[in-house]
Amino acid sequence: MPQDPHPRTASRRHYLMCPPTYFTVSYSINPWMHPDRPTDTDVAVAQWERLRDLFLDLGHRVDLIEPIPGLPDMVYAANGATVLDDKVVVANFRHAERAGESAAYKEWFQNHGDYDVVPAAHINEGEGDYLVSGTRILAGTGFRSDPAAHQEAEDVLGAPVVGLTLVDPRYYHLDTALSILTEDLIAYLPEAFAPASREVLAQLYPDAVIADPDDAAVFGLNAVSDGRHVVLPKAADRLAAKLAERGFEPVGVDLSELLKGGGSAKCCTLELRHADPTGAAR
């Protein structure tokens, strides 16, 4: 495995999160959701609070959006929008069960800061499928976001979009199969992508961390990196070891209850990227 001799440096981030106050699994819109299996909202809240506290302990800013009854998936805040340089593309969800979240996230951005807010015209599921990687945006399609939304995101956010096709329904969003570690380094599961997309990723990121299927299956790639610390499911132990070999500090968390809805650390975390680099401290 490639070794990186350079020390990893953390940068302070600004996140938006939503408490899982009304979390349950009452419908199924991805392979992880089984309404016949019980969920424990109190456990989900406790696990989510641990994740939020970890971010705060690492020095990041965390803002909260108020959860809404009847929208149990609102906890997966990453799906609500994509934010770059204070420009916001608000999600347009594929499934009716989540459609109400769009208005909630739009209202939050309109009422918090000087954001340029644009509701997506095409199906676009926020940072679930749109991951900012340095000067480009990696954009997933195949299960949720419409390919037509890629051009829309590029036009609004002002960064080139690289389309990637997902082929495994377990990894229905890009952020379940790929994680941004630094501006020029990613971790991903090749098997989750169409052959042409694998070729693109291999060309753009020749030194990428390659996850194994077992770690991907516990949502190890649904991780949050600040450039040094990588918060990921604690069950993804082999991936954590690979990250440590590359100079990162893996921080394991238990989000097993929220995995019942098809999400983990990244799904719960929407990054707010500001045009002013000091914006995270506003």
Q: What is the pLDDT of residues 155-195, one digit of tens each?
A: 999 999 999 999 999 999 999 999 999 999 999 999 999 99
Handedness of CA 101, 112, 17, 266 (dihedral sign): positive
What are the C-alpha distances in Å from 131 to residues 27, 81, 179? 27, 11, 8
Catalytic hit among 14, 60, 150, 173: 173
CA 105, chain centre distance (Å): 15
So what's the pLDDT on residue 220? Answer: 98
Number of domains in the chain: 1
Instruction: Tell me the residue length of the chain.
Output: 282
Within a domain: 282: no
Within a domain: 1: no
Print the domain residue range for 258: 14-277
Catalytic hit among 150, 229, 267, 274: 267
CATH number at residue 273: 3.75.10.10
For 119-141, write each residue's pLDDT tens digit.
999 999 999 999 999 999 999 99
pTM of this structure: 0.95
Contact 72, 18 (CB under 8 A): no
Q: Could you confirm whether 267 is annotated as catalytic?
A: yes
Within a domain: 19: yes
Q: How far apart are CA 203 and CA 207, in angstroms?
A: 9
Within a domain: 230: yes
**Residue 93: half-sphere exposure toward Cβ, Cα within 13 Å:** 21
Within a domain: 7: no
Within a domain: 41: yes
For 236-266, write each residue's pLDDT tens digit.
999 999 999 999 999 999 999 999 999 999 9
Q: Could you confirm whether 18 is annotated as catalytic?
A: no
pLDDT above 80 for 4: no
Within a domain: 8: no
So what's the pLDDT on residue 102? Answer: 98
Within a domain: 4: no
